[in-house]
Amino acid sequence: MLIVMKHDASAEEVTRVVDVIEEMGYEARPMPGKQRTAIGLVGNDGKVNADRLESLPGVLEIIHVSQPYKQVSREWREEPTIVQLANGTRIGGGEVVVMAGPCSVESEAQIVGIAHSLREAGATILRGGAFKPRTSPYAFQGMGEPGLKLLAKAREETGMAVVTEALDEESLARVAEYADIIQIGARNMQNFSLLRRAGRTGKPILLKRGMAATVKDLLLSAEYVLAEGNGQVILCERGVRGFDTHTRNLLDLTAIPVVKSLSHLPIIADPSHGTGLRAKVIPMARAAVAAGADGLMIEVHPDPERAMSDGAQSLYPEQFEELMQQIAVIAEAIGREMQPSLTGRPVRAVV
Amino acid sequence: MLIVMKHDASAEEVTRVVDVIEEMGYEARPMPGKQRTAIGLVGNDGKVNADRLESLPGVLEIIHVSQPYKQVSREWREEPTIVQLANGTRIGGGEVVVMAGPCSVESEAQIVGIAHSLREAGATILRGGAFKPRTSPYAFQGMGEPGLKLLAKAREETGMAVVTEALDEESLARVAEYADIIQIGARNMQNFSLLRRAGRTGKPILLKRGMAATVKDLLLSAEYVLAEGNGQVILCERGVRGFDTHTRNLLDLTAIPVVKSLSHLPIIADPSHGTGLRAKVIPMARAAVAAGADGLMIEVHPDPERAMSDGAQSLYPEQFEELMQQIAVIAEAIGREMQPSLTGRPVRAVV
Amino acid sequence: MLIVMKHDASAEEVTRVVDVIEEMGYEARPMPGKQRTAIGLVGNDGKVNADRLESLPGVLEIIHVSQPYKQVSREWREEPTIVQLANGTRIGGGEVVVMAGPCSVESEAQIVGIAHSLREAGATILRGGAFKPRTSPYAFQGMGEPGLKLLAKAREETGMAVVTEALDEESLARVAEYADIIQIGARNMQNFSLLRRAGRTGKPILLKRGMAATVKDLLLSAEYVLAEGNGQVILCERGVRGFDTHTRNLLDLTAIPVVKSLSHLPIIADPSHGTGLRAKVIPMARAAVAAGADGLMIEVHPDPERAMSDGAQSLYPEQFEELMQQIAVIAEAIGREMQPSLTGRPVRAVV
Amino acid sequence: MLIVMKHDASAEEVTRVVDVIEEMGYEARPMPGKQRTAIGLVGNDGKVNADRLESLPGVLEIIHVSQPYKQVSREWREEPTIVQLANGTRIGGGEVVVMAGPCSVESEAQIVGIAHSLREAGATILRGGAFKPRTSPYAFQGMGEPGLKLLAKAREETGMAVVTEALDEESLARVAEYADIIQIGARNMQNFSLLRRAGRTGKPILLKRGMAATVKDLLLSAEYVLAEGNGQVILCERGVRGFDTHTRNLLDLTAIPVVKSLSHLPIIADPSHGTGLRAKVIPMARAAVAAGADGLMIEVHPDPERAMSDGAQSLYPEQFEELMQQIAVIAEAIGREMQPSLTGRPVRAVV
């Protein structure tokens, strides 16, 4: 059960609620957020009689939640969360949104160049790693802050919003300064400390599903961000560990409708990591949209053969144009629209 | 390497090829099929000089194959296999085909009634289990042969083709007598003896992927059928074992484009078993078609709450109608067509 | 709930019980076994009042079972099942039993020769495949019945009992004629038809866990054998599908104590298939015994480099001797004994 | 390839080596450690001619490594790494070491009390979480620094060494101050930033395998610590994600001999998390030692029913005593000894 306090509730009012909860024989977990404080009541085996709490000063409402995750659940909030970016892109509101770009930022020519062609094709968000989590300490670890500056430059020139990954406290501070959306990668999905700090930035968070994470685990991780008063969370299915080596990961597209029924948060799919194979990205991007994804994250590189990371799963720019046209028809077929492109031209090519 | 003999090659010619292979220091595996005999040459570490073999009498051609599976591979056969049924349905030829029906045949009223409504909605193949593989020996095991007779009755009345599962030698003989397509279920995917016998019936075989089977395992199992001279095999992705209990299985839609690139055989998806949840069947059916599936297998029951098996994943007839309309728009969007319905009316509803 | 009939209950008495169950509004599932008939009562949501049934003529006892599997459960039978073979070997009774031999029977010299050295090392059961389930139709499929004859010859010469796999109805008939224990392999764990037939032979059955099978699935498959009146079932953990390619399968040794707490059936481990790596067989054999396994199944070949199948996981005979000595000390350490060897000498070498 | 510099190599000498590598057309990755600098040479497709590098001033040796991980590999270092603690405990040197204690530190009475009884039973390292990674933000997150102080108090009173988990930069600084061994948990196994920082503390690191991590992934994560010049790493198998809900995780004991063959680092097992079930901890602890583990980590609580976390998998103190006696006999059986207890009495009880 959650006791949600009014925006202007005083510290004394919060303390009073805590005291009453403890008098009732339960435990109280105050969760101060930016906007308001909620107080979790735990330790109850069954239903709690909330009469005494409802009438206390400062209490806005009482929410009974049947899931271990609370604020991310449909029970807590009926209508879908829509994440709105400065460049007009809306995620979660019916439009299909595309984030695209290289695995890693490598140079100004690379990132600004590709941003222009992605914009032309209809993407409105640019991805590109400046801080890269690599399984080997000897692999290319990203350009760091200079990479962020190049992303900002690309944004300036094209109007695209920027999403890029934060790995730790240090890079989070840098990323929060430059990015429109902060990505928390699959390997950090249960880095709860980073989730809390990311939540506190107030910026939209793109949270990728971990390789061994259940949907429930994913929602509980998102709950860490919401518990900080930040409701701007976008979930991302990017493949879980599977036993078949034909693909790099096992893209679990069913997670999309499952998340939709349990939570009000938007969810997108990343078929690039989800398959690890360039030739499978287009069909699986189509499938993700058909399954109800609110968007896609796609790796595109001007010259995949020479990419410093993930070349094998990066599309050629021409393939990306084709992908945009293919998903545009799927989106339309299921009664959704593509996020309007920044060029003013419709995404769908004249056939 | 495979040495394919001419249709009219004599037993002596086959023996001669075998002898020459053995003289060359390799092993020969003659594979007599209904149409022609192929002789596998194994035991080679690297490339074999085929000059001596090519010129022997009765030899049609020599095929070098790099995969452990041979006849199912794209290397062996470039053009897609199309399975053609008596009622005009073609599987693998561009049209999207739908097989639908209850998990189990339960009564004449049930199966004939549902067949009529499935036909109206545009399905051309009726599914329904007469012999059921159940994890518990105490669960309903199917009606047996009387169930097959009811399927035949439904076919007579509606023109739908019939697909139903064979579990063993005995049921195979019965199923082969009544069905248009013989299903080999996921639990029997590596029941190699059953695969061989099913192959020998000459009937089209629907082979479902096992819960722990890689795509390579699936193709090798299909190879058992082809090795009997029966090329009429339809593969089916129906979910593998996953770790998340939110869904019954983990539907691996990426297997569809993976199979398409490795093999010429058609592949369909079964989102009913793949998710185990009625509410997820429609989005995942759309996704499967968007991923390139040649068809779908869908569980539909006139009264799912009272189904004798798999009720929780069976659609209501009205939901199935909606599904047909939704996949019709997806099929069209990706340049495919729905298999023409038996009613003569187009599948897509007037919007 | 199970209503167990007396050994000499008449057909009329069984019918009467069935009628009463149906009058009570439930469904009856008569399960005629070789020894006695049990009648499952299903369709109950909660507890059933058994008064009316208990007093009917021919009824021996009423058993309330909380698991989906019944006769294999500890609830049904408290004391452990002990499988007793003609050569004195007891499985499930405290002694640690070792089954060893090559993957496939290849020749008389091979199987008789290895049997002699296994006997010397202390194994009392000889394994060797005559009918081999192979993922590829072009791989060596076993010697067939001649292989069974060679196993019988090796038994004659050494006194070892013989365990070998049956794949289908046909091979089952042959295997039942020659073997002391009939193996049902992992790929056939849910070949329910084969399980039933194997049950009916009345011979001890070695049932291997399937690659995607839960412990519950395994127990339900064993239930198929017991439902035929054959309680002589030995379970075998042989590794499930895992995501790490360092080992062929993922040996789930925790399944051993889990099975022990749920069922009265003996369980052994097969670290040869469980790891797929010769160098890991000895440590994992030790671990299996330490975890409480009633025995082991180990692949040993006189010349693993030239084995026709599974060479990479087969031990050299000298390694097998070392393994026997290592597990003998573990068995003793946990208060168990090795099954007395057929030579009359203790298994443990003088150190 | 790694070019290892002498301890006293100058910055100029390092720069010179880097320059030569780049002249040769490869990339150089200098890895400054506390003790010495190594320079990785990457970008080579095949073998590199190292003649030019070997003779440069300051170069100690050239190491050719075939694995993606370098310094953790057996190729890099033949003899086993032994981690030596202040209280005399040695990990990796033949003795079997036991770390035990409650999931979370809860109070002084709890932790000091349990430490005394663990010491009596023969454990030499005390575990206890002060900072807890919890899937839910509303679950008990640990006592924080006060918990560390209680651990230090327990150490003072009993002489036990202390291992406890660090979650992030902040807690790492605190933990490094108090603990003898810093634990990096499964959820942070690929938190590369934390791994680097932990490496830099110079303290022994206990690195737990992630739930979806291959052995290769685990070794690459350890490489991050070694790349910081810290070779004091202990690996820990604690179960991976499996599909069977009978156990919480799937304890992969084969990882123990696999790690032993690939790396010189010690590896222990955690059967408490590995099974999640109190009743399975003892048999799996025995199995882990039999498989060759250098030690165990075991959860023990004075009153498991009232534990604030992980109660269901925590042993009662009496069960822990029994476990110590059972593993002592296994250790002896395989020619190892128990780490001498801090009481001076042998671990093995007089039978």
- In this prediction, residue C351 carries a pLDDT of 40
Using an 8 Å CB-CB cutoff, list residues of chain D that contact chain C. Answer: 212, 214-216, 240, 242-247, 250-258, 261, 274-275, 279-280, 283-284, 286-292, 326, 329-330, 332-334
What are the residues whose beta carbons fall under 8 Å from the beta carbon of A19, sequence distance 6 or more?
A: none
Q: Do A214 and B243 touch (CB under 8 A)?
A: yes
Tell me the pLDDT of chain C averaged across its residues.
93
- Average pLDDT on D108-120 reads 97
CA–CA min distance B245, chain D (Å): 9
Q: What DSSP string describes C220-288?
A: HHHHHHHTTT---EEEEE--B--S-TTSSSB--TTHHHHHHHHBSS-EEE-HHHHH--HHHHHHHHHHH
pLDDT at D36 > cutoff 90 = no
- The neighbours of chain B, by the rule of 3 or more Cβ pairs under 8 Å, are A, C, D
β-pairing verdict for A337-338 and A90-91? unpaired
- What does the pLDDT look like over B96-135, one tens digit per residue? 999 999 999 999 999 999 999 999 999 999 999 999 999 8
Find the closest chain C residue to D247 by CA distance.
C254
Find the closest chain A residue to D1 by CA distance.
A138
CB hemisphere CA count around D4 (13 angstroms): 16
pLDDT at C276 > cutoff 70 = yes
Q: Which DSSP letter does residue C182 get?
A: E
User: Given the structure tokens 């193996």, which residue do they identify?
Assistant: C183
- In this prediction, residue B304 carries a pLDDT of 93
Q: Do C227 and B170 touch (CB under 8 A)?
A: no
- In this prediction, residue A310 carries a pLDDT of 84
Q: Which DSSP letter does residue A347 get?
A: S
SS (H, E, C) A287-341: HHHHCCCCEEEEEECCCHHHCCCCHHHCECHHHHHHHHHHHHHHHHHCCCEECCC
Beta-bridge mates of residue C296: C98, C269
* Portion of chain C with pLDDT greater than 90, in percent: 76
- In this prediction, residue A237 carries a pLDDT of 98
Judging contacts by C-beta atoms under 8 Å, the chain B residues touching residue A251 are 252-254
Give the Cα separation of D127 and D115 in Å (integer): 9
Give the Cα separation of A320 and A201 in Å (integer): 32
Q: Do C329 and D333 touch (CB under 8 A)?
A: yes
Q: Taking a C-beta distance cutoff of 8 angstroms, is the pair A167, A131 a contact?
A: yes
User: Given the structure tokens 């990132």, which residue do they identify?
Assistant: A111
Tokens of B103: 């998990």
pLDDT at B2 > cutoff 90 = no
Q: Do C283 and D274 touch (CB under 8 A)?
A: no
- Average pLDDT on D38-64 reads 82
Helices (DSSP H) in chain D: which residue ranges? Answer: 11-23, 51-54, 108-121, 145-158, 169-178, 192-200, 215-226, 255-262, 271-275, 278-290, 317-333
Using an 8 Å CB-CB cutoff, list residues of chain A that contact chain B. Answer: 212, 214-216, 240, 242-247, 250-258, 261, 274-275, 279-280, 283-284, 286-292, 326, 329-330, 332-334
pLDDT-based confidence at residue D43 (cuts at 50, 70, 90)? low
Judging contacts by C-beta atoms under 8 Å, the chain D residues touching residue A212 are 210-212, 240-241
Query: What is the ipTM, given to two decimal places?
Result: 0.89
**Best interface-test mutation with A: which of D189, D193, D208, D223 has the largest number of A CBs within 10 A?**
D193
CA–CA min distance D94, chain A (Å): 30
Which domains are delineated in chain B?
2-63 (3.30.70.1140), 83-338 (3.20.20.70)
CA–CA min distance B275, chain D (Å): 15
Q: Do D279 and C257 touch (CB under 8 A)?
A: yes
- In this prediction, residue C44 carries a pLDDT of 63
Give the Cα separation of D199 and D193 in Å (integer): 10
What is the identity of the amino acid at D59? V
pLDDT-based confidence at residue D212 (cuts at 50, 70, 90)? very high
Judging contacts by C-beta atoms under 8 Å, the chain A residues touching residue B215 are 244, 246
Residues B277, B280, B282: CA angle, nearest 5 degrees:
125
Dmax (CA) of chain B: 70
Q: Taking a C-beta distance cutoff of 8 angstroms, is the pair C18, C40 a contact?
A: no
Which residue from D247, D245, D265 is spatially nearest to D255, judged by alpha carbons? D265
**A-B interface: how many C-beta pairs under 8 angstroms?**
120
Give the Cα separation of B34 and C32 in Å (integer): 42
Give the Cα separation of B148 and C333 in Å (integer): 59
CA–CA min distance A305, chain C (Å): 27
Find the closest chain B residue to A348 by CA distance.
B333
Please report, for residues A257, A288, B288, D225, the alpha-carbon distance to residue B283 in angstroms, rounded to integers and kept in the order given: 7, 9, 9, 45
CA–CA min distance D246, chain B (Å): 12
Using an 8 Å CB-CB cutoff, list residues of chain C that contact chain A. Answer: 241-243, 245
> Cβ–Cβ contacts within 10 Å for residue B2, how many?
18
Judging contacts by C-beta atoms under 8 Å, the chain B residues touching residue D242 are 243
CA–CA min distance B12, chain A (Å): 42
pLDDT at B349 > cutoff 60 = no
- What does the pLDDT look like over D126-160, one tens digit per residue? 999 999 999 888 888 899 999 999 999 999 999 99
Give the Cα separation of B128 and B111 in Å (integer): 8
Q: Taking a C-beta distance cutoff of 8 angstroms, is the pair C221, D225 a contact?
A: no
Find the closest chain D residue to B244 by CA distance.
D243
Find the closest chain D residue to C271 by CA distance.
D254
Q: How remote is the C-alpha of D239 from its chain's centroid?
A: 15
CA–CA min distance C29, chain B (Å): 7
Q: Taking a C-beta distance cutoff of 8 angstroms, is the pair B174, B198 a contact?
A: no
- What does the pLDDT look like over C171-200, one tens digit per residue? 999 999 999 999 999 999 999 999 999 999
- Average pLDDT on C136-151 reads 92
Judging contacts by C-beta atoms under 8 Å, the chain C residues touching residue D252 are 242, 244, 250-251
Q: Do B242 and D243 touch (CB under 8 A)?
A: yes
Q: Do C245 and A245 touch (CB under 8 A)?
A: yes
Find the closest chain C residue to A212 by CA distance.
C243
- In this prediction, residue B351 carries a pLDDT of 40
**Best interface-test mutation with D: which of A71, A175, A187, A230 has the largest number of D CBs within 10 A?**
A187
- In this prediction, residue A351 carries a pLDDT of 40
pTM, two decimals, is 0.91
Find the closest chain D residue to B242 by CA distance.
D243
Q: Do D136 and A210 touch (CB under 8 A)?
A: no
- What does the pLDDT look like over C237-274, one tens digit per residue? 999 999 999 999 999 999 999 999 999 999 999 999 99
- Average pLDDT on C78-103 reads 96
Q: Which of C257, C275, C290 sits opposite D330 (nearest CB)?
A: C290
Tell me the pLDDT of chain D averaged across its residues.
93
Judging contacts by C-beta atoms under 8 Å, the chain D residues touching residue C292 are 283
- In this prediction, residue B202 carries a pLDDT of 96
Q: What is the pLDDT along chain A (351 residues), one digit of tens a residue?
A: 888 899 899 999 999 999 999 998 888 878 777 678 888 887 665 567 888 898 899 999 888 877 888 889 988 888 999 999 999 999 999 999 999 999 999 999 999 999 999 999 999 999 999 999 998 888 888 999 999 999 999 999 999 999 999 999 999 999 999 999 999 999 999 999 999 999 999 999 999 999 999 999 999 999 999 989 899 999 999 999 999 998 999 999 999 999 999 999 999 999 999 999 999 999 999 999 999 999 999 999 999 988 888 888 999 999 999 999 999 999 998 999 999 999 988 876 544
Higher-confidence position of A37 and C102: C102
CA–CA min distance A264, chain C (Å): 32
Which residue from C178, C158, C151 is spatially nearest to C118, judged by alpha carbons? C158
Judging contacts by C-beta atoms under 8 Å, the chain A residues touching residue B329 are 333-334
- In this prediction, residue A270 carries a pLDDT of 98
pLDDT-based confidence at residue D351 (cuts at 50, 70, 90)? very low
* Portion of chain B with pLDDT greater than 90, in percent: 76
- In this prediction, residue D44 carries a pLDDT of 63
Q: What share of chain C is helix, strand, coil (3-state, %, to 5)?
A: 35, 20, 45
Q: Do D137 and A223 touch (CB under 8 A)?
A: yes
Find the closest chain A residue to C244 by CA distance.
A243
Using an 8 Å CB-CB cutoff, list residues of chain C that contact chain B. Answer: 29, 31, 40, 42, 68-70, 133-138, 167-171, 187-188, 190-194, 196, 210-212, 217, 220-221, 223-224, 227, 240-241
pLDDT-based confidence at residue D350 (cuts at 50, 70, 90)? very low
> Cβ–Cβ contacts within 10 Å for residue D212, how many?
24
Using an 8 Å CB-CB cutoff, list residues of chain A that contact chain C. Answer: 241-243, 245
**Best interface-test mutation with B: which of D243, D244, D246, D250 has the largest number of B CBs within 10 A?**
D243
- Average pLDDT on B45-63 reads 83
What are the residues whose beta carbons fall under 8 Å from the beta carbon of A51, sequence distance 6 or more?
A: none
Judging contacts by C-beta atoms under 8 Å, the chain B residues touching residue C134 are 192
CA–CA min distance C334, chain D (Å): 7
Instruction: Give the gyration radius of chain A's Cα atoms.
Output: 21
Q: Which of A167, A193, A241 sits opposite D212 (nearest CB)?
A: A241
- In this prediction, residue A85 carries a pLDDT of 98
Tokens of D90: 């040695």
**Best interface-test mutation with C: which of D250, D253, D325 has the largest number of C CBs within 10 A?**
D253
